[in-house]
Amino acid sequence: MVDLRILAVADFHGLPNADDNLSKFLQRGYDCLVLIGDLTNFGPVSSVDSMLTRIEAAGVLTLAVPGNCDPKPILEVLDKHGVNLHAKCMEFGDITFVGLGGSNLTPFNTPFEFTEAEIHEELAALTCEVNDRWVLVTHTPPYDTRVDRTDAGIHVGSKSIKQFIEQKQPLVALCGHVHEARNTDKLGRTLIINPGPINKGYAAEVVIGDGVCAKLLEV
C-alpha cells in the first residue's frame, strides 16, 4: 500500500505571509494539499484565484473548503480550479475526502455560517460511499475537544460535526477555525488535527498508509 502524504493548512485570512509560508511547506514535497478554509478575510476572492493558480504550478493535488470568513462567491473560484470539496466527496487513489466548509454560528456574523441543524443536514446529505479509508475536512472543529478550545477555555466547535465523527469514524478529521487550538485529538479511531493558522507559520503533515500518523509543522 502506497503512503499518501498530505499537507494540511488553514486560516490564511488573506495575509501575504500565509502564501509565503505555504510555498515553503510545498517545497518539502506532498501528494495532496488540503486547504481548510478562511483563505480570505471577508474577501476578495480574486486573491484565492491567484493563489490557486500558483499552487497549480506546483503540480500537487489540491482540495479546499471555505471558512466562515470567506464570502460565498469563493465557491465559484474553487469550482473553477476543480478543488471545491464543500458539501462534496472526492477520491484520490483509495482515499475518499468528504468536506464541509463554513462554521457554526459565531458572535461575529461572518459570511459563511450555519446553524447546528443545517450542519447536521448538510453532513447527512453527503451520500458518497466510503470504505474504511476516508478523511473528513471541515473548517469548524468538533465540539469539546482539544482542537476547539479558545484561550478563554471555552469550547466553540460544532456539536453536529462531533456527532458525525463519532458515528461515521473517518480515519482522519482535518479542521481549523480556532487559531489558538492548534493540536491533535482522537474520537474513537478518528485522529483529529487542527494545524493552526498558516499565517503564523503553522501546518500539519498527515501520512496515510497501513496506519495513520501526523505531526504539527512550523516554518
The pLDDT score that the predictor gives to residue 1 is 62
Structural element, H or E, at residue 20: helix 16-26
Classify strands 134-138 and 95-100 as parallel, antiparallel or unpaired.
Answer: parallel
Considering only CA atoms, which of 112, 133, 117, 137 is closest in space to residue 195? Answer: 137
**Tally of domains within the chain:** 1
Share of the chain above pLDDT 90, in %: 95
Task: Convert the pLDDT of each residue in 25-76 to its tens digit.
Answer: 999 999 999 999 999 999 999 999 999 999 999 899 999 999 999 999 999 9
- Domain extent at residue 207: 4-218
Q: What is the pLDDT of residue 131?
A: 80
Backbone torsions φ then ψ of 166, nearest 5 degrees: -60, -35
Tell me how far apart the terminal alpha carbons of the chain are, to the nearest angstrom. 30
205 half-sphere exposure, CB direction, 13 A CA radius: 14
When computed from its CA atoms, the radius of gyration of the chain, rounded to whole angstroms, is 15
Note whether 32 and 208 are within 8 A (CB): no
Q: What is the dihedral of CA 7, 52, 105, 193, to 10 degrees?
A: 0
Q: What is the distance between the alpha carbons of residues 174 and 21, in angstroms, rounded to a whole number?
A: 19
Task: Tell the residue number behind the cell numbers 456539536, with chain if given.
Answer: 159
Q: How far is CA 112 from CA 55, 140, 168, 201, in A?
A: 24, 11, 25, 25
What cell numbers appear for 8 in the block?
494540511
pTM score:
0.97
Dihedral of CA atoms 125, 129, 130, 131 in degrees, nearest 10, equals: 150
Tell me, what DSSP letter sits at residue 85? -
Q: In CATH, what number is assigned to the domain containing residue 18?
A: 3.60.21.10
Give the C-alpha separation, 104 to 88, whole Å.
18
Question: pLDDT tens for residues 202-212?
Answer: 999 999 999 99
**Residue 45 CA: distances (Å) to CA of 80, 128, 188:** 12, 28, 37
